[in-house]
Amino acid sequence: MNTTTTISGVFAAAVTPLNGDGTLDISGIEQLTDFLANRGCHGILYLGTTGEGPSFSPQERAKIFQAATRARESHPSLKLLAGTGTPSLDETILLTHLAFELEFDGVVVLPPYYFRKVSDEGLFSWFDVLLRKAVPSDGRLLAYNIPPITGIGFSLELLARLKHTHPGTFAGIKDSSGNPDFAIQLGQTFGTDLLVLTGNDKLFSLALENQASGCITAMANLYSPILRSVWDAFQEGVDATEYQELLSATRTVLDSYPPMPPLLKAMLHHLHHFPYWPVKLPLIPLPEAIIPQILASLPQITS
């Protein structure tokens, strides 16, 4: 594990609370932040895939980041990450600047996902400009590797080049590829020189065994204590198999009801008594008729 970085441990890829009319529920952001901070999360990513990041305007994103910053005042050790990637380099620079102005600990950046056949040279140049123009010397950027959504992956060669060119500010990768071989290759290639946070609950233990620094997952909205149990067991050098099997079984159920944002908002309501937050179009709410089926399928977890 990379013990030198402060961006490590269990991070929740937070949902984004909304009012019934689709406007931001600012008090809900503060409520959710308190909830996650008190359930074992080392940090929170706002406006990732689970947070429906690309569905929000820059103005809405700014309000979300500001609300998260205020909520962190009650939890000074909580780390904040901001999803700032868009297909527009200029807009990504603007959002990344804002996140660091608000003292976020890092940004998680999607590749420019409209042109899916872009070369590694094009991707390197895009991130090179972003890092030079928007990331301060004490800031940290993680590439967001989620090819099932973006259609674009990060090669080991591209990651190595970005790390070599920007050794301080290009911190690493949020790997949501779901590929166990890639998780192993990351550890074998970079060791602890590259910060790796897995985005797949099923691969959490495997990633930690291969030098990852933690996780950023959707399931942490609901089950962060179980993720924290895996993390703590790994730090203590004890067997985490029981907790990992529980995570994997639960993730298998949740993956059967895509997409994740409406599912998680429904489960947060039914399991943890949050308001039933809507989702942004083109997503639609989970059909009420299947909610009892989902609840009955989930492993019985007391936390």
Catalytic residue list: 49, 114, 144, 174
The 3-state secondary structure of the chain reads CCCCCCCCEEEEECCCCECCCCCECHHHHHHHHHHHHCCCCCEEEECCCCCCHHHCCHHHHHHHHHHHHHHHCCCCCCEEEEECCCCCHHHHHHHHHHHHHCCCCEEEECCCCCCCCCCHHHHHHHHHHHHHHHCCCCCCEEEEECHHHHCCCCCHHHHHHHHHHCCCCEEEEEECCCCHHHHHHHHHHHCCCCEEEECCHHHHHHHHHCCCCEEEECCHHHHHHHHHHHHHHHHHCCCCHHHHHHHHHHHHHHCCCCCHHHHHHHHHHHHHCCCCCCCCCCCCCCCHHHHHHHHHHCCCCCC
